[in-house]
Structure 1
Amino acid sequence: MKKFKVVVNGNPYFVEVEEIQAMNPVPAAKTVSKAASPQTPQNVSAPAGIDVAAPAGSQVVNAPMPGKILAVNVKKGDSVKQGDVLCILEAMKMQNDIIAPKDGIINEILITAGQSVTTGKSLFYLQ
């Protein structure tokens, strides 16, 4: 735990923040040729509940904080401009707009309204 002093509107607050180690990247799925031995699986996928890598050329839009998705404002294939609101994330009774970091097309939507997400959860793939 690290302790910090934060001043908001002239009022000092002391907070403790837990430092979290970076997550290990998920290994890419392996493909084995059909001539593989019977003991070798034909393909290995990522464990359930873990986001797989974004398609080539896509940018991942991640959740900046844990919360609940209140609304998803786009559909797969929609064209968006930088700053467009992609979804609304409720965290600590506040609604937070998750915006498009660049112009592009929604390649994949990885969340639904009502779903709870954790910090860093992939929400969209933007092409």
Structure 2
Amino acid sequence: MKSYTITVNGNVYDVTVEEKGGVTPAAAPAPQAAPVMAQAPQAAPAPAAKSTGAGSVQVKAGAAGKVFKIEAGVGQTVKRGDAVVIIEAMKMEIPVVAPEDGTVASIDVAVGDAVEAGHVLATMN
């Protein structure tokens, strides 16, 4: 995975690109007359939000985006379908809801964090 920051019409987006298949550079034959060029240094990828594993039920992102708002707090009782986190993707606000009734055990992201589909955002008991 490689992370990039791009700007389109003045709007800044953080994107992560997954490399799949293809030929790895080590397996490809080296060109005979190709000069060796130094690569520009890349920014270190943002640290992944750590999952504390406090709860037995995981609340996962359904889509990639940025955490826009955190709706529930640790210790808060939520019902199935209640919004726990709001993700912004493609200029839409997408609620990530509790999969079942319970109590929020941990919030594993912060506002502004970039998340991938399937990323654990919170846990519940």
TM-score normalized by the length of structure 2: 0.57
> Contact conserved, 1:68 with 1:116, CA < 8 A, in 2?
yes
Aligned counterparts of 1:76 and 1:89: Cα–Cα separation in 2: 18
Runs of 4+ in structure 1 off by over 6 angstroms are none
Aligned counterparts of 2:63 and 2:115: Cα–Cα separation in 1: 8
Please give the residue correspondences for 1:1-127 in structure 2 after superposition, counting only pairs within 5 Å: 49=48, 51=50, 54-55=53-54, 58-127=56-125
Aligned counterparts of 1:110 and 1:67: Cα–Cα separation in 2: 15
- The 1:77/1:53 distance shift into structure 2, 3 A limit, reads closer
Percent of aligned pairs sharing the same letter: 33
- The count of aligned residue pairs is 81
Structure 1, residues 60-95: CA drift from partner, whole Å, max 9, x if none? Answer: 111111101110011111111111111111111111
Aligned counterparts of 1:80 and 1:123: Cα–Cα separation in 2: 15
Higher relative CO (Cα under 8 Å, sequence separation at least 6) belongs to 2
> Contact conserved, 1:51 with 1:122, CA < 8 A, in 2?
no
Structure 1, residues 33-70: CA drift from partner, whole Å, max 9, x if none? Answer: xxxxxxxxxxxxxxx73755734x61111111110111
Unpaired segments ≥5 residues, structure 1 = 1-17, 21-47
Backbone CA RMSD of aligned residues: 2.2
- The 1:66/1:83 distance shift into structure 2, 3 A limit, reads same
Aligned counterparts of 2:51 and 2:88: Cα–Cα separation in 1: 24
> Contact conserved, 1:64 with 1:119, CA < 8 A, in 2?
yes
Aligned counterparts of 1:73 and 1:79: Cα–Cα separation in 2: 12
TM-score normalized by the length of structure 1: 0.56
Offset at 1:120?
Answer: 1.3
Question: Secondary structure at the residue paired with 1:102?
Answer: coil
Aligned residue identity for 2:48: G
